[in-house]
Structure 1
Amino acid sequence: MRLKTGILCSMSAALAIGSPGVWAQQAGNAGSGALEEIVVTGIRQSLERAADIKRESLQVVDSIVAEDIGKFPDATTAAALQRVPGIQVTVGSNNEIVGIRIRGLDDILTTLDGRELFSTTGRGFALQDLPAEALARVDVIKSSTANLIEGGLAGVTDLRLQKPFNFNKPTVVAAARANYPDNVDEINPQFGVLATDRWDVGNGEIGALVNVSWYRNDFDRPISFVAERRSLIATPHEVPGVLAPNTFGGLNDYGTYERPQVNAAVQWQATDNLEVYADALYAGYRSEHQSAFIATPFFFPETQLESLEIDESRCFLARVTPDGFNPNEVQLRNPNFPIRTDTLCNMESATFSNVRGLTSTQSREQKVDNYLGGGGVKWSNGATDMQFDLAFQKSKQDLEVFIVDIGKRLNVTIDTDRNEGGVVWHEGNALGTPGGFFLRNGLNQNFQESTGELWQTRFDVSHDLDGAFGFLKSIQAGVRYADRTALFEHAQVNRGAPGGDMSTSLDGLGLPGDFLVRSPGIDRINGGAAFLIPNPDYLRSSAGRDVLRGIYGVAAGDPVYQPERRFDASEETYAAYVQLGYDVAVSDTITVDGVIGVRPTRTERHIEGAGLVSGVVVPRVSDTTDTELLPNASARIDFGNGLQSRLSYSKTMRRPEFTALNPGLSYVVATNPAVINSGSSGNPDLKPQISDSYDATLEYYFGPSMVAVALYYRDLADRVINSANAEVIDGITYNITRPRNVGAAELQGIELSGQTFFDFLPGLWSGFGVFANYTYADTEVKGDDPLAGYELQGVSKNNFTVGLLYEKAGVSGRLVYTQRSRYYDQDTTGLNIVRPIEADRVNDREYIPTALNYVRPGGRLDFSIGYDVTDAIRVDVGGSNILGNEYKSYFDYDWINRDFRYDDTIYTLGVRVRM
């Protein structure tokens, strides 16, 4: 029989750790299921298999598997995962879908074939760093058992690569794809090749596999923003009762990135009982990109207000400082600091003259390298299974950011509320017209190097009790040791413009004729007209950087990493587990099986950082130890006739990020007077986050169709969040961002899912099918935290997906729509944004009202259509975000507009050849 790679395209499929009898496979592959790794093709087969896997599982796990060798259902892993019940995602600056959350939490452990996987100094893994073409399957594990690696508070995403023993004959698959992003209007190439074979040798059988992929993407993500609000009472305008933006601006994140990837695996079945294996992965990222800013701040002394329209139906009561902002903690603690109370009404439109216009280039060069290699042995005699696995990972990122601001004076007209965003016009498109530019603000250099390494080894054993102890069917046990290091090096050098802001003309500085180039336009700024910015390629060149360093009076060459911005961490983790499997026949038709286990774990950590005290670097060292006991219990109740239920409890944990634990403090004085001085510090006293997790499901299977409902509840302790607050250091006020444990939070919700094909329809109509899922997520911060009573950051209360499927006569396709409701993605309470306050609390100087940045509801429509030209050749076309969803945000009230981001629409054309 010819084995083929398959798709588990079902967004409602669940895969779990499986029954005790197949536990030996689970030890090395956290998401492995009770069913054999069967390779199938086609949407229908994959949906049927998804239902079988869900039905046989003991845990709540959703799975997606490639539609064909090297072809995932979506362009990226995160894009595919957005359709899984309980998953929510965001769009990154380069238009890739990133930042998945499982049931409201982003504290996710990622494993690769069961091994822990991370990005540089973080705990999690950036899923976009592993191209989807490399994957055979992804399992989203939502409930935990003792044999899983601890660290996934929200769950585990187990990424699964192809292995040679998945195939029983020589196989070569080559794929090519052209991707067309609408924002860029360019065609981008994508290629992949997989080759595998297996051979009989004198002592067993050996299989080998190599999988290589590469793609390049040009991207452009235009953004317009109405910045933080302040009262127009501030100098120079001195107009009371008006809520005005501090700045109106926008930016284009645009450039090019490449993702090379290669993975290889060897399996040797030495005897019927013994398998030896080794595998390796390299996944890279190379990018030259930039942020092209354009902005007009309205509160410089020479700026004049020429006209003003306000909306008196959109007003709120606020506390205001003389400079028009919300008072910070430092000011509130000073009883002599003047604070007034005003009713502020929204500035609907205005015209300003003599504005200090700004364009800026933040040039970036980024390089990421992820390496993982390992091997092990599996032994089985039927009743007893053992596995030993040893692996090493290294993840490194280098990032160079070089920023130059320029500008000129101009006249500006703004409208703060046009179709849920702002619009601005610069008279004569002055910032797009050559001549008259000055140096603005300063030169900023930001160089970072992040490196993480991990040695991990584990030994697992399971034994089938074969009824010797009644209902107890198996015993499983194991140990794991992990040795992790993280090193972060950073240099940040800011130098103000020579002579001060707007004092030095660009003319006469000896800069090349192509120093100014045109950036792509932004629709809401001057109708999308291009504007001039410093040439990002010049800012990335060594020669260009040194010319600019000389102009600003900064030493030539890249800045030396600064000791006060460095941290070096080492961490050893010891874990063990024991787990019992059971199976009980309640009646002739009802059976109950499951597992009960416990996982003790201990972590010993050492972190070295540094801080500045009156300009002197002071080393700071922290040693911490965490010990946790993580129990679990689960049951699957089979009622017969396709009806079953699952119940589970588990305690999960999440260790704090290394950056959050860093005891050092770093800060910087902004060269841009419109930007607040800022800094950051870790908190070595952070506790691990703990969750008591409860799950219950009810599922009904009928033929290839199924419907399911899942209930979940999470009780979280010591949830970590980051927030900024004003702090005075050496007489200067900074907004310092620090992490803290908020005490407690609760999550609860319901997931509904279903799928079916319309077999009862005649002829070609019988190829149609549908799937759908809906998630309701209710979250709340508890305790006395400033956010108590609010939902958790980044969580939408409602999320749904509906899809139309087709497969018949060599044609297959899907049309899928996913939407999420409102959520907030930033807590800006500690910043100086003026915000509403209750009338009875205006004199309470201990009280600072919250200020949150909310994201409006949004949805994405995707499609794909493929045709099998022959058994070996398939062509397909597709599109993502074809309705052009846009990210739109606002502060507190939905009429205080903030960001308007244009997510890209991408069309694809591909061909795949199997030999």
Structure 2
Amino acid sequence: MQQNHNLAPLVSARPDEGRVAARLHPSRAPSTTHRTSTVGDIGMNHHIPGRQASGLRTRTLSRSIHLLLAGAMATAPVQLLAQDSAPAQEPATTPDARQLDAIQVTGSYSLSLERAVDLKRDNVGFSDSIVATDVADFPEQNLAEALQRMPGVTIERNKGLGSRVNVRGLPTEFTFVSINNLATASGSGGRDVEFDMFASEIIQSVTVQKSPTAADEEGGIAGSVLIRTARPFDYPSRKVAASAEGAHNSISEEVDPRFSFLASDTWGDFGALVSFSKAERTNRTDSNSGINFRPLSRFLDATGERSDQAAAVLARDAGIVLEDPTDHDVTNRIIFQDKVGDRVYLNEQDKTGATLSLQYKPSNDFSLTFDTLHGSFDTTEDEYDAAAYSASSRSTLDTIHEYDSTTLADYGITVLRDVSYTATQHEFLSKERINETDYQQYSLAMDWTPGDWEVNGLVGFSGAEKTYDYANLKHVAYAPSRTRWTEDGGETIPSAASAGFDMYDSPESYLFEAYETQLEHVDDDKYAAQLDATRHLQLDVLPALSSIQVGARFTDKSKEREYGETKIQGPGEGDISWLNTRTLADSPLQWVTDIVPGGGYVPRDLAWMQVSNDYARDFFRYAGFEVPIDDAQYYRVDEEVTSLYAMLNFDFDLGRVPVFVNAGARAVDTDVMSYGYHQVQNPDGSDGLTAEPVSSDGNYREVLPSLNVQAGLTDNLVLRGAASETLMRPALTDIAYRRSVSWNEFRFMDGNPDLKPTMADQWEAGLEYYLDNGGLLAASYFWKEIEGVVRQELTGIVEDVEKLNANGTLDGYYDFEVYQPVNAEGAYEVSGIELIAQMPLGMLHPVLEGFGFNANYTVLDSTLTGASDLDIPTAPEGLAEKAYNVTLYYENDRFDARVSYNYKDEYVEYIHLNSYPVYRDAYGQTDISIGYRINDVLKVTLEGINVTDEATTGYTLDPSFPLMNEYSGRRVALGVRADF
């Protein structure tokens, strides 16, 4: 039979990597039956170490052979591989005998789906998986976009690119992520992982574990994303594969290259695998956005004429008379527009990833594996911003042309829809953000099965270094303007006042304020060691107890951050000669659509000229300039976690129903040490703040029980249940001693070293029906009670804080609010239903052979609310009530085609000023993939992302108050794949 090596293996050739094999019920199987485990799968639970075969899967082999035969006839060739195996129909009866160890499947998307179904069925808890074909052979731009097609998984998009992952609608920080069983460092500072830095081509499989066992590392209330890279014994023979493509963006009109390569081979007991991926991406996003709510207290809290005029105009034009202008519960419910802007973003990415895996595997009872993962993710984002800041410190109300006291009347909010202001701060901003992330991971795993024991060990390191370099060239013009909401955004036009002007075409009116710079460096390191042992049992006194598993894990995590900022206002250090003397017209100007590639501005018929970031960096950074690091902004957080766990596995028959039970508990001991600086009033009584070094240590201990149950109601129908308690630790950034300041919002943001973990009790029940042709129908109901959610709350006031103007002169003394993350009181419930349908349609009629679909739907209900200081009821940030994915596909031995639609319901993106929930609109995206196999080596692909060119939109509280209107365009890629 001719073999097709087009795709990565869908069933491993290693017996300890999720084999598809017949298994015997423990009451009829001898103690020498071959067992499967690997430390790389501890916590992934494709096969819980010590779990004996049960009648739940006695039909798996026949179904696998059936799908192999169907695949050989209808799609690509396949290979059946048996290593050291006795005939499949003969059970193992001696210590040297082996069952059929693995079935090797290559060649098609439908078979990759069937492999994922096998993994789901074989897992002890609720889970879903994707394997190499599905990860690498669809038009995803990164790993996050590959995961969005899994049940219950949605993603957050940033300017057209998937960046973070939500599981079952919960916020991203509720998800635990690991690669090869090591918690992943990304430099983000939180518990969430920035998936956009990982290339999907270097990933072998991903499992989303939704119900934990005691052996799983704690940290995922929403779920755990368990990523695995490829290893040499995954392949039955030498494997070399390469792919290359070029992708075109419809707005930037640039073509981006992407290349990936993999080579693997084994020599007797040794094997080696290397993979490499490199991708460039140039994406332009046009956005009419940033239209935030701002409470009228911004003007009413000012002293003198600004406050008096605001109150008088409000009474004259809106009929609202304030009894007490300082009552924030009233004035924070009178809203005007903070800033209206037109922005063009150009995001350029350079992403590389490489893996190396070395294996020593002298037998199926022992293996030693060294895995390493290296990569870099460098982005440069240019933002060109023409904006009108209505809430400037010089301005107040001039005329209210239109107000709305009905749309948000339930919250007592009046919105000033159309207003002229006395001195709007018009800004031309050329912003440059350079992010450079280098990440690496090393692990050494041992898998040993001496006799009736399984012993697994792991040591590893995961680290990321991130450097963030920010610059903002700022020119400002103060003048009367009129700002109002439009149907899909906002606009600023000249006011009726005599000093009004055309903000987009008056460069000589804009004075240079500063070239602002920031520099941040983050080191994020994580070390881990784990030892796990399982004893298989056949006890006459308790025959149902099939194994006992115990283990210990130690992790050491640290995050260290350095930060500095400064303003350049002249051609030398300390020089301010450019301030208020240099104008925007003194710099070379270009049309913004000439600075960035592509055509005209998409949201509306508008054009303006700005200074390019290339010129700004070259001209304004004088010789010898460096951003000074501020010692007072330094912090470091260390966290050490020791975990001990034990599990009992039971296999027995309840009548004629085979039942499997996994019960266990995990004891967790966490030590936290936080170092940093705390800013306080000068001890000598003088004006200003001073930074004092501080440190704090803390400890918390928890015991986390878990229970997972399976019952094979029929050969095809599985009843599954799970219950557990789990936790999510607070973000290291929130624990750190730190104080940042927002001068415009008159607010300090502090860390809180006393934060405790967020806890959750959860259970789930579901039915899964496995079709003989590899299809799946499944439904489950899940419920979570969550307490100790971390929220930002007002915890104090700092009085008489000195605030300076851009030129260093005194602006005034103000009372600043202090906000800190705290563990909110009370418990909240999240529940939902998850439906899955995966079906090859050839089972319905021969004419449909090769057609199929894969669909899932998740609906949520939650009593969890967001934190609004105005008590506005809102869902928690990131939680979408509905999400669904549908993929239709067709394939034969030469041609394949897929179309996929992903939908995520609206959700709260953030709560502005801790008061006003900002919503991201519901979003649906259509992607396509078409492939044609030229011969046994070459395949040509055509792929499209967001082919209907959907825009990303959002609003504050009600759609009639749009917040943003962003266009990132569609991407079309043409590629070629070669397998040898």
Q: TM-score range by the shorter chain?
A: 0.7 to 0.9
Are the structure 2 counterparts of residues 39 and 375 from structure 1 closer, same or farther at C-alpha, using a change threshold of 3 Å?
Answer: farther
**In structure 1, how many angstroms separate the alpha carbons of the residues matched to 2:450 and 2:507?**
81
Q: What code does the residue aligned with 2:263 have?
A: A
Quick check: 1:453 aligned with 2:521?
no
| CA deviation after TM superposition for structure 1 residue 126, in Å | 1.6
Within the candidate set 852, 856, 863, 1:780 is matched to: 863
Are the structure 2 counterparts of residues 681 and 411 from structure 1 closer, same or farther at C-alpha, using a change threshold of 3 Å?
Answer: closer
Within the candidate set 776, 779, 786, 1:716 is matched to: 786
Question: In the TM superposition, what are the counterparts of 1:611-690 in structure 2 within 5 Å?
Answer: 611-614=678-681, 615-667=689-741, 669=743, 675-690=744-759
| CA deviation after TM superposition for structure 1 residue 125, in Å | 2.3
| CA deviation after TM superposition for structure 1 residue 513, in Å | 7.8
**In structure 1, how many angstroms separate the alpha carbons of the residues matched to 2:713 and 2:569?**
73
Assess if the C-alpha contact under 8 Å between 2:211 and 2:223 holds in 1.
yes
Within the candidate set 107, 120, 126, 1:60 is matched to: 126
Give 1 or 2: higher strand fraction.
1
1:550 corresponding residue in structure 2 = none
2:157 corresponding residue in structure 1 = 91
Q: How many aligned residue pairs are there? A: 846
Assess if the C-alpha contact under 8 Å between 1:752 and 1:775 holds in 2.
yes
Assess if the C-alpha contact under 8 Å between 1:413 and 1:426 holds in 2.
yes
| CA deviation after TM superposition for structure 1 residue 105, in Å | 3.7
- What CA deviation, in whole Å up to 9, does each residue of 1:541-600 have, x standing for no partner? 4x63127xxxxxxxx622322122111122222112111111111123x11102111111
Assess if the C-alpha contact under 8 Å between 1:474 and 1:582 holds in 2.
yes
**In structure 1, how many angstroms separate the alpha carbons of the residues matched to 2:965 and 2:589?**
34
| CA deviation after TM superposition for structure 1 residue 309, in Å | 4.7
| CA deviation after TM superposition for structure 1 residue 776, in Å | 1.0
2:221 corresponding residue in structure 1 = 153
Are the structure 2 counterparts of residues 559 and 770 from structure 1 closer, same or farther at C-alpha, using a change threshold of 3 Å?
Answer: same
| CA deviation after TM superposition for structure 1 residue 494, in Å | 4.9
Q: What SS does structure 2 have at the residue aligned with 1:781?
A: coil
Within the candidate set 733, 736, 750, 2:833 is matched to: 750
Q: What code does the residue aligned with 1:482 have?
A: T
- What CA deviation, in whole Å up to 9, does each residue of 1:736-780 have, x standing for no partner? 442111132211111011111221566663222122211111122
Assess if the C-alpha contact under 8 Å between 2:138 and 2:929 holds in 1.
no
Question: In the TM superposition, what are the counterparts of 1:36-55 in structure 2 within 5 Å?
Answer: 38-55=104-121
Q: State TM-score, norm by structure 1.
A: 0.85
| CA deviation after TM superposition for structure 1 residue 102, in Å | 3.8
Assess if the C-alpha contact under 8 Å between 1:517 and 1:534 holds in 2.
no
Question: In the TM superposition, what are the counterparts of 1:568-647 in structure 2 within 5 Å?
Answer: 568-588=636-656, 590-614=657-681, 615-647=689-721
Assess if the C-alpha contact under 8 Å between 2:355 and 2:372 holds in 1.
yes
| CA deviation after TM superposition for structure 1 residue 310, in Å | 5.0
Q: What code does the residue aligned with 1:30 have?
A: G
**In structure 2, how many angstroms separate the alpha carbons of the residues matched to 1:227 and 1:440?**
25
Question: In the TM superposition, what are the counterparts of 1:178-257 in structure 2 within 5 Å?
Answer: 178-200=246-268, 205-225=269-289, 226-230=291-295, 235=306, 239-240=313-314, 244-257=336-349
**In structure 2, how many angstroms separate the alpha carbons of the residues matched to 1:904 and 1:610?**
44
Within the candidate set 401, 425, 438, 1:308 is matched to: 401
Quick check: 1:533 aligned with 2:610?
yes
Assess if the C-alpha contact under 8 Å between 2:508 and 2:585 holds in 1.
no
Are the structure 2 counterparts of residues 625 and 345 from structure 1 closer, same or farther at C-alpha, using a change threshold of 3 Å?
Answer: closer
Assess if the C-alpha contact under 8 Å between 1:26 and 1:33 holds in 2.
no
2:200 corresponding residue in structure 1 = 132
Question: In the TM superposition, what are the counterparts of 1:228-377 in structure 2 within 5 Å?
Answer: 228-230=293-295, 235=306, 239-240=313-314, 244-298=336-390, 308-309=401-402, 314=407, 316=409, 344=414, 346-347=416-417, 349=418, 355-377=424-446
| CA deviation after TM superposition for structure 1 residue 224, in Å | 1.5
2:951 corresponding residue in structure 1 = 886
Identity of aligned residues (%): 22
Within the candidate set 482, 490, 505, 2:555 is matched to: 482
Within the candidate set 564, 573, 592, 1:491 is matched to: 564
Q: State TM-score, norm by structure 2.
A: 0.80
Q: Which is worse superposed, 901-910 or 141-150?
A: 901-910
2:767 corresponding residue in structure 1 = 698
Q: Which is worse superposed, 439-448 or 146-155?
A: 439-448
1:473 corresponding residue in structure 2 = 546
**In structure 2, how many angstroms separate the alpha carbons of the residues matched to 1:390 and 1:678?**
44
**In structure 2, how many angstroms separate the alpha carbons of the residues matched to 1:378 and 1:558?**
51
CA RMSD of aligned residues (A): 3.5
Are the structure 2 counterparts of residues 889 and 719 from structure 1 closer, same or farther at C-alpha, using a change threshold of 3 Å?
Answer: same
- What CA deviation, in whole Å up to 9, does each residue of 1:289-337 have, x standing for no partner? 2222210134565799689355676464888xxxxxxxxxxxxxxxxxx
Quick check: 1:104 aligned with 2:170?
yes
Are the structure 2 counterparts of residues 385 and 749 from structure 1 closer, same or farther at C-alpha, using a change threshold of 3 Å?
Answer: same
2:75 corresponding residue in structure 1 = none
| CA deviation after TM superposition for structure 1 residue 376, in Å | 3.0
Structure 1: where are the runs of 5+ without partners? 10-14, 320-342, 548-555, 670-674, 831-849
1:545 corresponding residue in structure 2 = 621
- What CA deviation, in whole Å up to 9, does each residue of 1:238-279 have, x standing for no partner? 532555423211323313110011111011113453222212
Assess if the C-alpha contact under 8 Å between 1:441 and 1:500 holds in 2.
no
2:44 corresponding residue in structure 1 = 31
Q: Which is worse superposed, 599-608 or 766-775?
A: 766-775
1:827 corresponding residue in structure 2 = 911
- What CA deviation, in whole Å up to 9, does each residue of 1:662-713 have, x standing for no partner? 12323253xxxxx324442111111111111111111112222221101111
Assess if the C-alpha contact under 8 Å between 1:423 and 1:525 holds in 2.
no
| CA deviation after TM superposition for structure 1 residue 91, in Å | 0.5
Q: What code does the residue aligned with 2:798 have?
A: V
**In structure 2, how many angstroms separate the alpha carbons of the residues matched to 1:161 and 1:867?**
27
- What CA deviation, in whole Å up to 9, does each residue of 1:341-399 have, x standing for no partner? xx83552x567797542110221222100011121322113421112211122210011
Q: What SS does structure 1 have at the residue aligned with 2:777?
A: strand
Assess if the C-alpha contact under 8 Å between 2:895 and 2:932 holds in 1.
yes
1:329 corresponding residue in structure 2 = none
1:330 corresponding residue in structure 2 = none
Are the structure 2 counterparts of residues 222 and 500 from structure 1 closer, same or farther at C-alpha, using a change threshold of 3 Å?
Answer: farther
Structure 2: where are the runs of 5+ without partners? 12-16, 27-33, 48-59, 61-101, 301-305, 319-334, 682-688, 802-813
**In structure 1, how many angstroms separate the alpha carbons of the residues matched to 2:678 and 2:614?**
34
Q: What SS does structure 2 have at the residue aligned with 1:466?
A: coil
1:840 corresponding residue in structure 2 = none
**In structure 2, how many angstroms separate the alpha carbons of the residues matched to 1:179 and 1:522?**
18
